Chains A and B, each alone.
Chain A
């Protein structure tokens, strides 16, 4: 019996080693006082210092945070209202819509990325060709014939806006998936009760429904944020001139494998790890609270 236990522990340790050794190596060598990933020459923070002095990297960090925060905020609002709408639908309409909602989650990132890329290229071409060219032509006409002028429109390019739109589009399904179960758990008569006591439907939504589904909204937002920070493939195809941290890291790998790469990867890993811990702790707390309620 005891042997068996030791065996199973050893096996588990082996699995964890297999899973985490590469990351551990990465983290350890990000503190290495040498330009090497093989020889340990003492603890130092020089790669972090270098990292924080690197304008390109810091710009990418700023972009990543900005796009993640904005995409999270927008997709949380949109996703929550979508979930409420789905909740009110008849089952025979709701189930197909939910399946459609799940497809982007299951779909290969590369497909989503390429699809979004092609879509944006086409949409931008149409926009530039019809709206921008048309307007600028009109301005030229005014200048030539009436000596009046109006501001010209700039041609649109792939950049931060397309990146943000792409992030919003892949974040929304995660929010819906987190909010909908909370709505289902909710006692429907709570809405009736609030209206009965004098709330309008909207009043009931803010005063009763939102507090009830808040845990779902928050965990949906956290997961959306993690997905945004974490994403490389879709960002790579839609960022255009903009850059995110993951795109930056990819670029650095292609140039040279420097320990600075270790440092920036460690930071990214740390952020995602912290977010995942928060999500998990929240979930287990909620489960405890739910079981206490029953």
Chain B
């Protein structure tokens, strides 16, 4: 098994009395691709900055390879960072940006100061240019590069120092969709080729699911769930995780006995157990796990209220007894038609009630536009907020 490399132990961070991070416990394994995922202001960037050494936790400890590093400044940590807006040095060209870290005086194990030879620097920079596919760009000025190229330079500049851990703070946020997909694959490839730990911060759940070995879902300064992408998606721990990761219908239910949950006064078979008898629970049903059947064969019966064509499938909103469900189906059902649905036992996931219960309603106000607007407004707000905090 891979060994533990970084451990955050009960880390709390407060700015002017406002708690941003609330007792985080987290360990990160060597060579792992770990993603901190959450909405704006959830504390993910702060967590990253604590690991990078830019912030010292108000309380709690940070361990690196078993050594407490709370007060170790950033320049003495075996960690390098790819910053949100790249933070490339505008007065240096591509080559000198990448060589920046290499040109600084190093200290060896005996505390002796030394410098890398020009030959070694050149060799390592060229090697890195190869890794990020930027051969031939070394003399270019930073302002002459596209966003994607700048991104690659930022990655190369961090990786050339051979860190044990690379921290990435929403590195793809500024790129357009197509480029973002390419860079996701690229990052995963680089991580596997270099065999180092990546800690990746994002608010994009698709990105997190696609790249990570482990996803840490955060909200309100707390870790909501840690797990593999499959775990997080299939077995969300609470309504927040279920809502944040992918689309989900979250309903109130009552656990009648192991393997039986009651929704809308109808009993459904499920695979969950370990709840009290008649315990109120949250039930998650993913839109793709619902089968549409003729009305008389359905476990539930409802009316289609809206249909959106999405290419691969239709987003169909169906009204069941006043609760609007999102169903993703390849079958076209016209608006106002009556349909029935069937849900297989493995399509039902039961969660304990949490303080998030009831916060994520049905899809009655669902619209594409709304989602996009709220996504786009996330970033600047978060930055401003954190800038203020730093001051």
A residues sitting closer than 8 Å to B (CB atoms) are 90-91, 187-190, 192-200, 203, 207-208, 211-212, 292-293
Contact = CB atoms under 8 A, between A and B. Distances in A.
Contact of B391 (A91, A196, A207, A292): A91
A199 B75 contact: yes
A151 B323 CA distance: 99
Nearest to A197: B101
B301 interface: no
A197 B80 contact: yes
Contacts of A193: 81, 83, 87-89
Given A192-B54, A197-B80, A187 B87 contact: yes
Contacts of A200: 73, 75
Contact of A198 (B84, B88, B101, B391): B101
A188 to B, nearest CB: 8
Contacts, number: 66
A197 B100 contact: yes
A197 B161 contact: yes
Secondary structure of the A side of the interface?
helix
Contacts of A203: 75, 104
Contacts of A192: 52, 54, 74, 81, 83, 87
Nearest to B144: A292
A196 B75 contact: yes
Question: Which of A90, A192, A211, A212 has the most chain B CB within a 10 Å cutoff?
Answer: A192
B83 A292 contact: no
12 contacts: A91-B391, A193-B81, A195-B53, A195-B75, A196-B52, A196-B79, A197-B158, A198-B75, A199-B104, A203-B104, A293-B90, A293-B143
B85 interface: yes
Contacts of B74: 192, 195-196
Given A187-B85, A197-B157, A212 B91 contact: yes
A211 to B, nearest CB: 4
Contacts of B91: 211-212
Contacts of A197: 75, 80, 100-101, 104, 157-158, 161
Interface in B292-338: none
Interface in B56-90: 73-75, 79-81, 83-85, 87-90
Nearest to B160: A197
